[in-house]
């Protein structure tokens, strides 16, 4: 067929451009770390109120992302939320008695779990349970408490 | 219209099995009856012409022989194989041995002349390119267009396109070729070229040719045997000389191209005078 | 009243019959795919007409859509002081929705209509019949390579659309509106997920490529073999293809991002 060489070169360029675009989308636009994240260990924690926490919300320690929320469930006995955290396996020296708090990034931002290191010898491992947890701060409750305390003063 | 000489037995007796045998063929398109029980035999190595007015389904007949359409009742046998009952595989095998020349050539518009003729060879054989090249040039030479091998179909005249299509149809050395209106819309020179090509190809290659046409004089001049179809029936059949001496008024009108006769000049209508003075209706 | 009812019934039957034919057609075409692998050259030449020739409009459209997204998003986000999220907005809109959907619409308009017209004309000029009589199955030789090329080309085109859109958005946000470059990319990377967003977008574009190409080649193959019939089939491809993309997008979005 005529011009088949030109056609093939163009198609080659097209495929390369398409692949490059896909590569850019996965490397530059999204977090490629999603690949490594599945390798890690799971710990659970009970929270009275998780507020707006979602699956895949970040888990941070000193502001550095060390893992993500793997699943959120509800405990029928204690009426508390059960949150499973997936911690990346490289962070294998987090003390067992570390505390977990649900914070909000900025006033309107998303919610995340912040871990604060305790003093225990043993580190968190697969299946550990976080003993010290602090629930999400629900804005309406704070405003409500503030109003009540103002009323009491008068 | 006379159907007096319709016969149910073989229309003409000849030595050897006919290549194409059509028996009691009935075909409807929607409400319209295209064929109403026709019998046709096409002899091996002969040039058979099938003639009839426009719209009698001559092209449909070729498609029935080629297995592109299936009859409602009746049978079509090609080389002793029942075309209308063949499955996908055997039908495609059979078609490799049949060629068909479409009205306007039906060349593949994105391929040049050479590649068009090479198309069936490349699709069906494992020949190397040198062999393909030699075969294509031989076929193109036989239709006198070896020099046009690099042209695109859009650069060809109608007659040349048909000749290229003819070269393509004989590329696989088929046992028969069907021609769909090969003479329509040709100037006298290309018509003459096509007429003599058809005859020489039939004789030289021992092909069986079926020509569907309403160009009476050209068809009669080259055909070995002629069928005339009208209104879904075979009206007359015989050698060209038989036909010229036919007693049927209808056949005489058709052959001589008279404007009035058994086939009236006027399309059926209400009374002329009444129509003119009848107001809006 | 009874006439209306009859008309409705006839239309319904017609649609059902056409759908049935479309599926048989699809099955027949797909059965020709294995035979294409040793003759991949056929697919490559179709990738040229389906993919390469659609590249320009896809690239230009992607770039401009990304630029407009950044511009419009900025004016909303600036009120909340959240302009750093502009990257997230642009990237998520493109990767999840606009890349596959607008890419699919443009694909239906550019490549789909060309496919229908080409196959329809081949039918009208008896080229398909001629192939059948040469014992070459046109569904395998003509339709199957075009179909495969369409399925392969569409995800690549949608990815190019999205990538260029992000780049266009970057130029407007960082270059024109003064959004912080680091925040633009890091916010984007933090929020866009490889599986959730990008992979789902690719799946969408594969589905759209399949459906649009299917509609295009079927409309061409099923066209009334006259110039009028082919032009109507071409219009049908663009209309039905676009509607199919929009309708399927809703269903896929509901299934993927619940």
Window from A79-88, A94-103, B53-62, C234-243 with minimum mean pLDDT: B53-62
Q: Would you call B96 and C135 a contact, using CB atoms and an 8 Å cutoff?
A: yes
Domain boundaries, chain A: 2-30, 39-143
Strand, helix or coil for residue A87: strand
Do B232 and B199 form a contact (C-beta atoms < 8 A)? no
Whether C21 is in a domain gets the answer: no
DSSP lists the bridge partners of residue B28 as B33
H or E element at residue A42: strand A40-47
Quick one: average pLDDT of C72-86? 86
Strand, helix or coil for residue B106: coil
Instruction: Tokens for A36, please give them.
Output: 């490594």
Place of tokens 């509901």: C254
Taken in order A51, A54, A59, A62, the sign of the CA dihedral is negative
Greater model confidence, C96 or A111:
C96
Do B167 and B140 form a contact (C-beta atoms < 8 A)? yes
Instruction: Tokens for B147, please give them.
Output: 């020099």
- Distance of alpha carbon C185 from alpha carbon C86, whole angstroms: 9
Residue C155 confidence (pLDDT) above 90: yes
Cα separation values, C156 from A19, A20, A145, B136, B274, Å: 7, 9, 56, 40, 71
Q: Check residue C258 and give its pLDDT.
A: 64
pTM above 0.90, yes or no: no
How many of the other CB atoms lie within 10 Å of CB of A114?
16
Quick one: average pLDDT of C109-129? 93
Nearest CA in chain B to C133: B95
Is any Cβ of chain A less than 8 angstroms from the Cβ of C52?
Answer: yes
Whether C10 is in a domain gets the answer: no
> To the nearest whole number, what is the mean pLDDT of chain C?
91
Closest Cα in chain C, distance from residue A76 (Å): 25
Q: Check residue B279 and give its pLDDT.
A: 64
Q: Check residue B14 and give its pLDDT.
A: 43
Picking from C122, C126, C137, the nearest residue to B102 by CB comes out as C126
Is any Cβ of chain B less than 8 angstroms from the Cβ of A2?
Answer: yes
Is any Cβ of chain A less than 8 angstroms from the Cβ of B115?
Answer: yes
Do C204 and C182 form a contact (C-beta atoms < 8 A)? no
H or E element at residue A22: helix A4-24
Taken in order B264, B269, B274, B277, the sign of the CA dihedral is negative
DSSP state of C118: H
Q: Would you call C162 and A25 a contact, using CB atoms and an 8 Å cutoff?
A: yes
- Distance of alpha carbon C191 from alpha carbon C204, whole angstroms: 20
Q: Check residue B244 and give its pLDDT.
A: 83
Quick one: average pLDDT of C178-207? 86
- Distance of alpha carbon A21 from alpha carbon C195, whole angstroms: 16
Quick one: average pLDDT of A136-150? 83
- Distance of alpha carbon C214 from alpha carbon B265, whole angstroms: 49
How many of the other CB atoms lie within 10 Å of CB of B106?
26
> Residue C197: which of C84, C97, C73 has the closest Cα?
C97
Q: What angle do CA C159, C165, C168 make, to 5 degrees?
A: 145
Place of tokens 């389906």: C50
Do B172 and B124 form a contact (C-beta atoms < 8 A)? yes
- Distance of alpha carbon A97 from alpha carbon A118, whole angstroms: 5
- Distance of alpha carbon C64 from alpha carbon C56, whole angstroms: 12
Residues in B 82-141 with any Cβ partner in C closer than 8 A: 92-93, 95-96, 98-100, 102-104, 106-109, 119-120, 123-124
Q: What angle do CA B172, B203, B83 make, to 5 degrees?
A: 50
Residue C182: give the domain boundaries. 32-256
Alpha helix (H) residue ranges in chain B: 58-65, 88-95, 113-124, 129-142, 158-169, 188-205, 216-222, 240-244, 249-256, 272-277
Note the residue count of chain B.
Answer: 281
Cβ-based neighbours of C44, under 8 Å, separated by 6 or more:
A7, A8, A11
Whether C180 is in a domain gets the answer: yes
Nearest CA in chain B to C128: B106
> Residue C102: which of C147, C57, C72, C169 has the closest Cα?
C57
- Distance of alpha carbon C73 from alpha carbon C85, whole angstroms: 9
Q: Would you call C159 and A4 a contact, using CB atoms and an 8 Å cutoff?
A: no
Q: Check residue B242 and give its pLDDT.
A: 85
The region that residue A79 occupies, defined by phi over 0 for left and psi between -120 and 50 for alpha, beta otherwise, is left
Q: Would you call C194 and A32 a contact, using CB atoms and an 8 Å cutoff?
A: yes
Is any Cβ of chain C less than 8 angstroms from the Cβ of A9?
Answer: no
DSSP lists the bridge partners of residue B25 as B38
Q: Check residue C91 and give its pLDDT.
A: 92
Residues of chain B under the 50 pLDDT cut: 1-15
Q: Check residue C62 and give its pLDDT.
A: 95
Whether C240 is in a domain gets the answer: yes
Nearest CA in chain C to A24: C163
Quick one: average pLDDT of C71-97? 89
B68 vs C contacts (CB less than 8 Å): 129, 132-133
Cα separation values, C143 from A17, C136, C147, C162, Å: 26, 12, 6, 29
Instruction: Tokens for B274, please give them.
Output: 């009444």
Strand, helix or coil for residue B127: coil
Whether C81 is in a domain gets the answer: yes
H or E element at residue C22: helix C2-30
A2 vs B contacts (CB less than 8 Å): 112
Q: Check residue C156 and give its pLDDT.
A: 95
Window from B10-24, B175-189, C18-32, C112-126 with minimum mean pLDDT: B10-24
Instruction: Tokens for B108, please give them.
Output: 């593949």
Directed axis angle between helix B129-142 and helix B113-124, to 10°?
Answer: 130
Cβ-based neighbours of A11, under 8 Å, separated by 6 or more:
C44, C47, C48, C51, C52
Is any Cβ of chain C less than 8 angstroms from the Cβ of B244?
Answer: no
Note the residue count of chain A.
Answer: 154
With cut-offs at 50, 70 and 90, classify the pLDDT of residue A107. Answer: low
H or E element at residue B208: strand B208-213
Is any Cβ of chain A less than 8 angstroms from the Cβ of B36?
Answer: no
Residue A109 confidence (pLDDT) above 80: no
Is any Cβ of chain B less than 8 angstroms from the Cβ of C115?
Answer: no
Q: Please tell me the total count of domains within chain C.
A: 1
Q: Check residue B15 and give its pLDDT.
A: 47
Nearest CA in chain A to B110: A1
Window from A18-22, B12-16, B76-80, C6-10 with minimum mean pLDDT: B12-16
Is any Cβ of chain B less than 8 angstroms from the Cβ of C180?
Answer: no
Nearest CA in chain A to C94: A25
Cα separation values, B271 from B141, B262, B266, B275, B277, Å: 59, 19, 11, 6, 10
Whether C11 is in a domain gets the answer: no
Do C70 and C173 form a contact (C-beta atoms < 8 A)? yes
Instruction: Tokens for A151, please give them.
Output: 């009323």
Quick one: average pLDDT of C204-233? 94
Strand B98-101 and strand B176-180: the pairing is parallel
Q: Check residue B16 and give its pLDDT.
A: 64
Whether C7 is in a domain gets the answer: no
Residue C228 confidence (pLDDT) above 80: yes
Which chains are adjacent to chain B, needing at least 3 Cβ pairs under 8 Å?
A, C
Q: Would you call C132 and B108 a contact, using CB atoms and an 8 Å cutoff?
A: no
């Amino acid at each position: 067929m005529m011009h088949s060489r030109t056609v093939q070169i163009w198609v080659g360029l097209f495929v390369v451009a398409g692949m490059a675009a896909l590569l850019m989308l996965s490397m530059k636009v999204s977090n490629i770390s999603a690949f490594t994240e599945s390798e890690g260990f799971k710990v659970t924690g009970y929270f009275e109120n998780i507020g707006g926490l979602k699956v895949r919300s970040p888990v941070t320690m000193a502001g550095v992302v060390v893992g993500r929320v793997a699943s959120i469930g509800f405990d029928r006995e204690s009426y508390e939320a059960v949150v499973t955290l997936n911690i990346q396996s490289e962070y294998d020296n987090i003390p067992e008695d570390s505390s977990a708090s649900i914070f909000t990034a900025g006033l309107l931002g998303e919610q995340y779990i912040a871990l604060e290191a305790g003093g225990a010898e043993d580190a968190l491992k697969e299946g550990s349970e976080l003993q010290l947890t602090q629930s999400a701060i629900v804005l309406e409750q704070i405003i409500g408490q503030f109003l009540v305390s103002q009323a009491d003063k008068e | 219209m006379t159907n007096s000489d319709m016969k149910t037995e073989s229309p003409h007796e000849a030595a050897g099995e006919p290549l194409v045998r059509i028996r009691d063929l009935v075909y409807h398109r929607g409400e319209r009856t295209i064929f109403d029980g026709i019998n046709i035999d096409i002899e091996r190595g002969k040039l058979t012409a099938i003639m009839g007015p426009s719209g009698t389904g001559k092209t449909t007949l070729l498609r029935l022989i080629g297995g592109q359409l299936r009859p409602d009742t009746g049978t079509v046998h090609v080389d002793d194989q029942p075309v209308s009952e063949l499955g996908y595989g055997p039908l495609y095998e059979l078609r490799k041995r049949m060629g068909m020349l479409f009205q306007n050539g039906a060349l593949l518009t994105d391929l040049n002349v050479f590649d068009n003729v090479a198309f069936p060879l490349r699709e069906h054989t494992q020949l190397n390119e040198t062999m393909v090249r030699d075969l294509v040039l031989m076929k193109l030479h036989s239709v006198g267009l070896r020099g046009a091998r690099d042209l695109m179909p859009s650069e060809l005249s109608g007659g040349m396109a048909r000749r290229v299509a003819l070269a393509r149809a004989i590329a696989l050395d088929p046992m028969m070729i069907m021609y769909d209106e090969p003479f329509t819309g040709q100037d006298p020179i290309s018509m003459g070229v096509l007429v003599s090509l058809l005859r020489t190809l039939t004789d030289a290659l021992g092909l069986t040719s079926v020509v569907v046409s309403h160009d009476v004089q050209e068809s009669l001049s080259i055909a070995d045997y002629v069928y005339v179809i009208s209104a879904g029936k075979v009206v007359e059949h015989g050698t060209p000389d038989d036909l010229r001496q036919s007693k049927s008024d209808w056949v005489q009108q058709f052959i001589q191209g008279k404007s009035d006769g058994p086939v009236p000049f006027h399309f059926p209508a209400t009374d002329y005078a009444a129509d003119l003075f009848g107001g809006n209706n | 009243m009874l006439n209306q009812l009859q008309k409705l019934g006839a239309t319904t039957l017609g649609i059902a019959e056409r759908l049935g034919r479309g599926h048989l057609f699809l099955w027949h075409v797909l059965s020709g795919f294995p035979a294409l692998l040793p003759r991949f050259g056929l697919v490559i030449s179709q990738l040229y007409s389906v993919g390469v020739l659609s590249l320009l409009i896809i690239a230009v459209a992607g770039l401009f859509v990304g630029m407009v997204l950044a511009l419009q998003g900025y004016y909303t986000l600036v009120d909340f002081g959240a302009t750093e999220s502009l990257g997230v907005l642009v990237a998520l809109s493109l990767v999840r929705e606009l890349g596959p959907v607008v890419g699919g619409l443009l694909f239906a308009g550019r490549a789909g209509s060309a496919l229908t017209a080409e196959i329809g004309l081949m039918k009208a000029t008896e080229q398909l019949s001629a192939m059948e009589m040469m014992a070459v199955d046109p569904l395998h030789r003509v339709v199957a390579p075009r179909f495969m090329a369409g399925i392969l080309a569409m995800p690549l085109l949608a990815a190019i659309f999205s990538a260029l859109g992000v780049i266009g958005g970057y130029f407007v946000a960082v270059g024109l509106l003064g959004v912080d470059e680091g925040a633009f990319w890091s916010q984007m990377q933090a929020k866009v997920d490889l599986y959730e967003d990008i992979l789902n977008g690719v799946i969408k574009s594969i589905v759209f490529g399949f459906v649009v190409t299917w509609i295009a080649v079927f409309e061409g193959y099923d066209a009334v073999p006259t110039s009028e019939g082919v032009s109507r089939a071409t219009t049908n491809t663009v209309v039905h293809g676009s509607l199919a993309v929009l309708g399927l997008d809703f269903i896929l979005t509901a299934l993927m991002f619940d």
